Amino acid sequence: MFCIVAAIVLSILGIFSASNRQLAKEALDCVFHRITFRPCTTGFDEKMKAKILGKVITRSEKSARFLNKNFELLAWIFFVIFLAASVMFVRGFVLFYTTGSCNGANSTGFCVFDPTGENTKTSTVTGGACPVPTNPSGSSLTLQNVDLNLWPVMNKGSKDQIVFVGCYACEYTREAYPKIRALVEKYGPELYFGEYPTKLKTDTLSRVGYCVYQQDPAKYWQMNDALFSEDVALLEDENATRAILSGLNLDMSSLDACMADPATEASVQQLFTEIRKTNFYGTPTLFINGEPLVGPKPYRVYAIALEGFFYWLK
Amino acid sequence: MNLDAVRHDFPLFQETYNGSPIIYLDSACQSLRPQSVIDAMNDYYVHFPACSGRSYHKLAAQVTQKCDDARSQMARFLGASKKEEIIFTRNTTEGINLVANSLDLKSGDAVLIGGKEHNSNLIPWQMLVKRKGIQLKILPTKEDGEFDLEGFEKMLSNPVKLVSLGYSSNLDGVTIPAEQVIRLAHKHGALVLLDAAQTAPHRKINVRALDVDFLALSGHKMLGPSGTGVLYGKAKLLDQLTPFLVGGDTVANSTYDSCEFLPVPERFEAGLQDYAGIIGLGEAARYLQNVGFDFIQKQELLLNQAVNDGIKEIDGLQLIGPADPARRGGITTFYIEGIDSHRVAIMLDQMANVCVRSGQHCVHSWFNSRHIKGSVRSSVYFYNTLTEVEIFVENLKKIRKVL
């Protein structure tokens, strides 16, 4: 058993040091002998045991005696721990690769591959037009009972679906948005976008968005692209917004009329209500084919959620 | 002779590993080298790094002179009547192989060896059994490791061409009664080859007084450089040998179909020699003679007695060889029932930088015949101290308690 543990550990260490490489070779030879039901002829296990005992005995004879007596048992325990740790490591890596976090989608626990938690950060700062619902975990994120008919949509009718809750002024939404746009560009899923202003008082933009979408859905997405590329500080500046809208060749008078219409505000508020039904607790929150993803994930995570592990082959 | 001054000559004693000094108790495998030997070798590489004998420039002349001096030094060291009886080899193994392959042994000729010979003095003869059909006779060792003189004489009653024996055993340190052995062998018409690898570093050898025919030794066990050795042979016997390793530097002249060999010893020293090693070996012999074998033997006995006293109460410890440490030179070989010898050696190294040898010490045949897996061997030399021996014993006791 000791040989197996040593072979694995030393093989890894052997990548970095030549002396460990030689030991790894001996350990592998020993493992090979053992699995073919022959005694280990290199003396590797004896050698390593003696080296360990020699170090321990200088500190505590009692510990050395215990170690000597229970060496095989301890080797088994270490092997099981090593195996478990290896499984956890592989699981963590796979989860990180597929969800952006070692602990599974939307978990904010420590992840060695993302120590600062960049992939799970969300904008929860209040002070925007709408309060962020409090929800301690991602377990209750849902699209059930959410009426998507009120949400601006692109590629309606496609088999895959992305539902995106974000806000124009939120830095993590701004980080995720271009990736989602690229994904939509490449794979063409339905894209629902629910703008929920959490950071700045950009609720005017929500009405603007509603009215633009009513006038020309295609220009709504162009407006979104422009707003997400705009300097955040200018998002509260009405003139800057109007300049963007003018650039899209929209009918401004009809747009102004729409924005002044009380029915618009009612529709926007209804959209906010529907967004809140998702139980989201920060932006960006995405549902890709129903699977919730909170925080700005790497592109591959969105692509895997949408197209599967081998998205890059498609 | 002052021990502190002696130890000062050996650079290793000035060094530490993990904060502690090295305790070197493996001199039977290879001794340490004094600075003067290292300097002698360096001198060659720095000041006259040329060929000996072949060239006529001033550097070559210096090398030739130095190698010649080393040969004379070794002749004096062994008490040879002339320096031409000294052949430089790489080690004892090569010396024995030289005799085995150059002596005119024919099918049916008997060679007699001991029961605890180093592989160097076993395998060359086994090869001749296969190749030439010689007979290999093995004289069993007494239970306590002592040489069985009576048994030896009995075995000589049938014709033996050559007796090849370890002068001192690397297994248990026992030295054979060489003078009697040689006298008996000669009485029965046998030549005698002694493997003196473990003797030359520890006691005065006089080949003329012994009347030995051939004697091989290694430089690396007697403070000399590794890869050096000597084969002594009586001049008239060397003249009769046919060189088995031939080529460059062994001939005075050659044509496409014949050659004229150089006289002894050059005819046996094929190819470019390890000049630095030879010069270093000469210096090692000089150093040993300066220290004096009286001091060496006295110090070894003192130390080996301390080892003996220290380990005798260790539970389950089995000593190999005679109980009296005075019979074992500087060697103490033992095994502890149920405990792997390598484990003990590695632990000693890890615990206190104590360097000892473990395993079967190239005497596999002896161990296999007794079904013993291996043993630990401590081999002290004159440069060791009582404190070092005490640390060794103390740590060995600790190991026994734990294992």
A62-84 pLDDT tens trace: 999 999 999 888 888 888 898 89
3-state class (DSSP) for residue B81 = coil
pTM beyond 0.80: the answer is no
Lowest-pLDDT choice from A3-7, A175-179, A193-197, B70-74:
A3-7
3-state class (DSSP) for residue B205 = coil
pLDDT at A126 over 70: no
Three-point CA angle A291, A294, A297, nearest 5°: 95
* CA A310/CA B307 separation, integer angstroms: 71
User: What per-residue confidence (pLDDT) applies to A12?
Assistant: 83
pLDDT at A60 over 80: yes
Question: Beta-carbon neighbour count of residue A299 at 10 Å?
Answer: 14
User: What per-residue confidence (pLDDT) applies to A169?
Assistant: 86
Q: Which token pair is A247?
A: 């650039």
Q: ipTM greater than 0.85, yes or no? A: no
Range with the largest mean pLDDT of A6-15, A68-77, B148-157: B148-157
Distance of CA A22 to the CA centre of its chain: 40
Which residues of A fall within a CB distance of 8 Å from B340?
A: 43, 46, 50
| Secondary structure of A118-187 as H, E, C letters | HHHCCECCCCCCCCCCCCCCHHHCCCCCCCHHHCCEECCCCCCEEEEEECCCCHHHHHHHHHHHHHHHHH
* CA A142/CA A156 separation, integer angstroms: 20
- Digit-coded pLDDT (tens) for A263-300: 999 999 999 999 989 988 888 999 999 999 999 999 99
Which residues of A fall within a CB distance of 8 Å from B351?
A: 54, 57-58
Nearest to B319 by CA among B378, B273, B264: B378
Residue that has been written with the tokens 């021990």 in this structure: B3
- Digit-coded pLDDT (tens) for A225-236: 999 998 887 877
Å from A15 to nearest chain B CA? 25
Q: Which neighbouring-strand residues pair with A190?
A: A161
CB contact under 8 A, A54 and B340: no
CB contact under 8 A, B344 and A68: no
Which residues of B are known to be catalytic? 362
CB contact under 8 A, A54 and B401: no
The answer to whether residues B222 and B196 touch, using CB atoms and an 8 Å cutoff, is no
Q: Give the strand pairing for B331-336 and B317-320.
A: antiparallel
Q: Give the strand pairing for B110-114 and B162-166.
A: parallel
CB contact under 8 A, B346 and A50: yes
Please name the member of A50, A51, A57 whose beta carbon is closest to the beta carbon of B398. A57
Q: Helix and strand tally (H, E) in chain B?
A: 14, 17
B176: Cβ–Cβ under 8 A, 6 or more apart, which residues?
Answer: B114, B147, B165, B166, B167, B168
Which residues of A fall within a CB distance of 8 Å from B403?
A: 53, 68
Distance in Å from the first CA to the final CA of chain A: 44
Q: Which residue in chain B is spatially nearest to A65 when comparing CA positions? A: B402
Higher pLDDT, A109 or A42: A109
- The DSSP H or E segment spanning B333 is strand B331-336
Q: Which residue in chain A is spatially nearest to B344 when comparing CA positions? A: A50
User: What per-residue confidence (pLDDT) applies to A128?
Assistant: 64
Residue type, A109: G
B113: Cβ–Cβ under 8 A, 6 or more apart, which residues?
Answer: B121, B122, B125, B136, B137, B138, B139, B163, B164, B165
User: What per-residue confidence (pLDDT) applies to A125?
Assistant: 53
CB contact under 8 A, A46 and B343: yes
The answer to whether residues A94 and A297 touch, using CB atoms and an 8 Å cutoff, is no
Which residues of A fall within a CB distance of 8 Å from B401?
A: 61, 65
* CA B229/CA B239 separation, integer angstroms: 20
CA-atom Rg of chain A in angstroms: 29
Alpha-carbon torsion (A77, A83, A88, A89), positive or negative: positive
Please name the member of B342, B345, B347 whose beta carbon is closest to the beta carbon of A53. B347
* CA A31/CA B105 separation, integer angstroms: 47
The answer to whether residues A128 and A135 touch, using CB atoms and an 8 Å cutoff, is no
Which residues of B fall within a CB distance of 8 Å from A49?
A: 343
Lowest-pLDDT choice from A57-66, A115-124, A291-300, B194-203:
A115-124
User: What per-residue confidence (pLDDT) applies to A136?
Assistant: 52
CB contact under 8 A, A65 and B401: yes
Nearest to A67 by CA among A43, A47, A49: A49
Flag whether residue A50 sits within 8 Å of chain B, measured between CB atoms: yes
Question: Which ranges in chain A belong to alpha helices (H)?
Answer: 2-14, 18-35, 44-57, 61-69, 71-99, 171-187, 203-215, 217-229, 238-247, 252-260, 262-276, 299-307
Which residues of B fall within a CB distance of 8 Å from A43?
A: 340, 342
- A-B contacts (CB, under 8 Å): 47
Query: What is the number of alpha carbons within 13 Å of residue B344 lying toward its C-beta?
Result: 30
User: What per-residue confidence (pLDDT) applies to B37?
Assistant: 98
Please name the member of A46, A55, A65 whose beta carbon is closest to the beta carbon of B350. A55
Average pLDDT (B87-92) is 98
* CA B310/CA B328 separation, integer angstroms: 16
Residue A137 pLDDT class (50, 70, 90 cuts)? low
* CA B225/CA B384 separation, integer angstroms: 19
* CA A258/CA A267 separation, integer angstroms: 11
Q: Give the strand pairing for B191-195 and B214-218.
A: parallel
A interface mutation test: which of B18, B336, B350 has the most A CBs within 10 A?
B350
Residue that has been written with the tokens 């069993």 in this structure: B140
Average pLDDT (B62-86) is 97
* CA B294/CA B300 separation, integer angstroms: 10
User: What per-residue confidence (pLDDT) applies to A16?
Assistant: 83
Mean residue pLDDT across chain B: 96
* CA A42/CA B342 separation, integer angstroms: 12
User: What per-residue confidence (pLDDT) applies to B396?
Assistant: 97
Please name the member of A51, A61, A64 whose beta carbon is closest to the beta carbon of B346. A51
Please name the member of A46, A58, A65 whose beta carbon is closest to the beta carbon of B340. A46
φ, ψ of residue B330 to 5 degrees: the values are: -100, 10
* CA B379/CA B172 separation, integer angstroms: 10
Å from B350 to nearest chain A CA? 5
Å from A108 to nearest chain B CA? 45
User: What per-residue confidence (pLDDT) applies to A115?
Assistant: 86
